[in-house]
Amino acid sequence: MRDLSLSTAIKLSLFAIVAASISVFAPAYALQQVAIAIAYAIAILGLNLLMGYAGQICLAQGTLFGVGAYVTAILNATYGVSPLATLPVAAAVSAAVGLLIGLPALRLQGLQLAIVTFGIAAAFPQLLLKLGSLTGGVSGLPVDAPETPGFMTDVPELWLYLIALACAGIGALLVSRVLFGDAGRALRAQRDNPQIAQALGVNLTRTRLWAFATSSALAGLGGGVFAIVSGFISPESFLAILSINIVIGSIVGGVTSMAGAFVGGLFMVFVPSWASDINLSLGNLIYGLALILIMMVARNGITGFIEKWISMIFRRAAG
């Protein structure tokens, strides 16, 4: 048990060092990109709980992210609510929508559920266009920049970055509260063997619905942060492919890892553009090959790969 808290402490300090160095060394534009990556990371944190721990697939995480983004934008642009105050509402509304999506999950198996949720993701952008009076249609909605504290007015991007980071911290805290306790054990139990879980008193229905709600709340929170950091949203940001990209981010980062969610978010934002930087006409090819290579080398995602190496080095060193 002491080892566990020690390794958690090491991970947290490492995380703090990385987060602080980014804020010091990254140029303003890159800082905003990182903040967007963190917004995705919040959605991935939720998806990791759902996919990695509850064993349920959801190909509509980008839609729930979009719902959160639009709740923030509508509340801010139409009703003048201050951007940060919209975030809890964004999380709550997405959680409610996620519960609705979770209902078919009680009856459907993995593959069918994948198709049903992807259907939702495919329909979402056009739904946004149809509800133009609410969503601003193709032209989208602007979101006010949150008021930047006086000493930071030179670099408002830094403030956005810190907001994203704080929201991710809250998200990670909530997820860890669920995972490291009885609820987390019940989640894993129903994933690995539902029948035995039932014999142990696990309420499969309730556990799965809570997993969907929690995961969706985080998607909504991430979406709200995305809207604030971007300053403007339109249906184009929430196409069906976003849900696939979030799943890819989750798996590439490591589907049962909290640190993996951040790796996944950064991957989503930076790797495709790096791939095009290498060669504009071969960007997709390079990106695709990178995905294939990562999965060949690191089955448990990038963080799983790193953890495996670190524990191997430690074991060597221990003799």
Partner 1 sequence: MNDSSIEEVRPVLQARDVSVQFGGVKALTDVSLFVRPGEICGLIGPNGAGKSTFLNAATRLVNYATGSIMLDGQPLEGVETRDMIGRGVARTFQNLGIYASMTVLENVMLGAHHRLGGSFAKAIFAPLRARALERSNREKAMAVLEEVGMANLAARAAGSLAYPLQKRMEIARALAAEPKILLLDEPAGGLTHGEVHEFGALVDGIRRRRNLSILLIEHHMGLVMSLCDRIVVFHLGRNLAEGTPAEIKSNDAVIAAYLGKAA
304 binds partner 1, rule: CB under 8 A: no
Region of 140 on the Ramachandran plot (φ > 0 left; ψ -120 to 50 alpha; else beta): left
210 binds partner 1, rule: CB under 8 A: yes
198 binds partner 1, rule: CB under 8 A: yes
Q: What is the C-alpha separation between 56 and 298, in angstroms, rounded?
A: 22
Site string for partner 1, 212-251 (x = CB under 8 A): -xx-------------------------------------
Question: Which of 78, 112, 203, 284 contacts partner 1 by CB under 8 A?
Answer: 203
5 binds partner 1, rule: CB under 8 A: no
- Outline where 27-138 has alpha helix (H): 28-47, 61-77, 83-105, 110-130, 132-135
For partner 1, give the closer residue by CB, 64 or 158.
64
Q: What is the C-alpha separation between 79 and 303, in angstroms, rounded?
A: 42
- Residues in binding contact with partner 1, number by CB under 8 A: 27
127 binds partner 1, rule: CB under 8 A: no
188 binds partner 1, rule: CB under 8 A: yes
Q: What is the C-alpha separation between 271 and 126, in angstroms, rounded?
A: 28
Which of 227, 259, 185 minimizes the C-alpha distance to 73? 227
185 binds partner 1, rule: CB under 8 A: yes
CA dihedral sign, ordered 23, 25, 29, 35 = negative
Q: What is the C-alpha separation between 250 and 97, in angstroms, rounded?
A: 21
Question: Which of 114, 204, 239, 244 contacts partner 1 by CB under 8 A?
Answer: 204
**Do residues 181 and 54 touch, judged by C-beta distance below 8 A?**
no
Q: Binding segment for partner 1 among 17-25, 60-68, 128-136, 178-186 (CB under 8 A)?
A: 178-186
Q: Which residues bind partner 1 (CB under 8 A)?
A: 174, 177-178, 180-183, 185-186, 188-189, 192-193, 195-196, 198-204, 207, 210-211, 213-214
